Amino acid sequence: MSPTRTKTSITGLLLPLLLLLLLLQLLAPLGEATASFLRVADDMDTTAAGARMSGLAVTDCGFKCFNAGPSQCRGFVWRPFVDSSFYDQYNSSRNSTPADDSAQSTFSPLVGSFSLGRCGLMKCVPPPSSLTPAPGSQIYLMSGTSAVAYGSIMVPPSYRMACTFAYRIYDKVQLSFEEAERQCLRDRARLIAIKTAEQQRIMTGQTSRSEAYWIGLDDRDSEGDFVMSDGTKPKYLNWDSGQPNNYIKDEKDQDCTMLYQGTWNDNQCDQMLRFICEIPFLEL
Ligand SMILES: [Ca+2]
Ligand SMILES: [Ca+2]
């Protein structure tokens, strides 16, 4: 891609690392449970937050989400109180002398694991269009075992939102598997890694039954050893009966996977097909 890509990728590496370090510092008192939350955006509020509570520290809000479980809470929005009552609560919670001016002037929600605020639990990641600026609001997402930190939620307008990911079905253009991979990368996306029956159900409903679409699953490196576009081994499988069969045609075997009529089939990677890109918010 263009020279800006190098610049972007360096920033892309550093920013998540810094955010992660900051987050780990912030959530250190929470121990193991809290390490499973990643902050994705500052200064944003959402109307999508379900259960709302008031007067909770960000760490308590995290515990509420964690205890609710992933089916009830995928993330949470937390916004600190910033009026005078906040300082009263802050002072009493610290059981110390009243905060002096310097303490107030150096206050930042980023370091206020002791501060109280409003807490909203989210079942789904909200579409970015529903987010509105709200000073001090922070959005946290629950993370799976592979922690990926996002500086912010970046979704091209052409993408549609599902609960935990955004996707675009490219059905006006047909590309080889590798070209499709590159197109997804240009969107800062990847060929979709279908990891759950729910994701599969959405894709089956949104694609044409008479067409085939590349998805992010291949055994190009090692025959029969399929890996997903995020490098993980698939746990959820949806092969058509008799597939994958690595059928050899014109001396080429089948190492790339397509979604066809609701199930998966391996095909020659140089076939020109429609494809589906995905921007995951949570690694399932
Ligand atoms: Ca193969
Ligand atoms: Ca096949």
> What is the CA(243)–ligand 1 centre distance, in A?
10
Q: What is the pLDDT of residues 143-189, one digit of tens each?
A: 654 444 455 666 787 888 887 788 999 999 999 999 999 999 999 89
pTM assigned to the model:
0.65
Residue extents of the structural domains in the chain: 4-142, 160-280
Report residues of the chain scoring pLDDT below 70: 1-36, 48-49, 82-114, 127-129, 143-154, 282-284
Instruction: Determine whether domain 4-142 maps to CATH 3.50.4.10.
Output: yes
> What is the CA(255)–ligand 2 centre distance, in A?
9
The token pair at 22 is 């900051």
Q: What is the pLDDT of residues 81-112, one digit of tens each?
A: 865 554 555 456 545 444 433 333 333 343 34
> What is the CA(253)–ligand 1 centre distance, in A?
6
pLDDT of residue 111: 39
Ligand nearest to the CA of 265: 2
Best CATH choice for the domain 160-280 from the list 1.20.1250.20, 3.10.100.10, 3.30.70.3270, 3.10.110.10: 3.10.100.10
User: What count of residues does the chain have?
Assistant: 284
Ligand nearest to the CA of 219: 1
> What is the CA(264)–ligand 2 centre distance, in A?
9
pLDDT of residue 164: 78
> What is the CA(219)–ligand 2 centre distance, in A?
12
pLDDT of residue 11: 42
Q: Which residues contact 240 (CB under 8 A, 6 or more apart)?
A: 260, 261, 263, 264, 265
Same fold? 4-142, 160-280:
no
> What is the CA(238)–ligand 2 centre distance, in A?
13
SS3 202: helix
Q: Are 265 and 237 in contact (CB under 8 A)?
A: no
> What is the CA(36)–ligand 2 centre distance, in A?
38
> What is the CA(253)–ligand 2 centre distance, in A?
9
Residue 211, judged by CB atoms within 10 A of its CB (0-12, 13-18, 19+), counts as middle
Q: Are 252 and 268 in contact (CB under 8 A)?
A: yes
CA nearest to 201, candidates 172, 162, 233? 162
SS3 110: helix
> What is the CA(165)–ligand 2 centre distance, in A?
28
Tell me the C-alpha distance between 214 and 169, whole Å: 10
> What is the CA(234)–ligand 1 centre distance, in A?
15
